[in-house]
Amino acid sequence: MARRVTQDQYFKKAKEDGYLARSAYKLKQLNDRFDLVPQGGRVLDLGCAPGSWMQVEAELVGLRGTLVGVDLKPVELKLKCEFHTIAGDINKLDPEHLKELAGGQFDTVLSDIAPNTTGHGDDLRSAHLCRAVLNIAEHTLRPGGRLGMKIFDGAEFQDVLKETRVLFQQAKSYKPDATRDVSRETYIVARNFRGARVNP
């Protein structure tokens, strides 16, 4: 019961701190533990609406950083760093265009994307989205770059984790305290991107 109250407090705290959603604290906790977002870095945020993660990213990269956010829904923000938002489908993104907007390869790719939940096959749709994120990360990250993406625990979770480990030297799962107890969501966090694979 006490834990449930704590979850409600994240909602209240977001309003008090000026964040657009309680999910801001998930990214804060992920970054505190895994140091995902470097100061002055370039960050790609996939599924960025309503913009709470970009608010946190802006704090972390500082004035010299650059953010690029993508979501099916238009996102309007006021941030102190350079940033761009794109209304579009992550399955149809041009990696070269993303890098042009950022001024180079990204240091970090982040994703808080979740499928529209129906109660049936949600984990499979989540895994499909994660594979799209991995594909974009492979073609936009700098060698040594970092990744953090949401995934629903389910039948393909371990497969997606293994696919992440092909691209990164380190990859593991982590569930921030700010995640609701009843949620199936967790995060795959990866470091030291190996570089894009060369097609045979």
Say if residues 172 and 158 touch (Cβ distance below 8 Å).
no
Q: Tell me the longest C-alpha to C-alpha distance in the chain.
A: 55
Sign of the CA dihedral with 67 first, then 91, 187, and 172 last: negative
Active site residues: 150
Q: How far apart are CA 79 and CA 200, in angstroms?
A: 42
How long is the chain? 200
d(CA 24, CA 4): 18
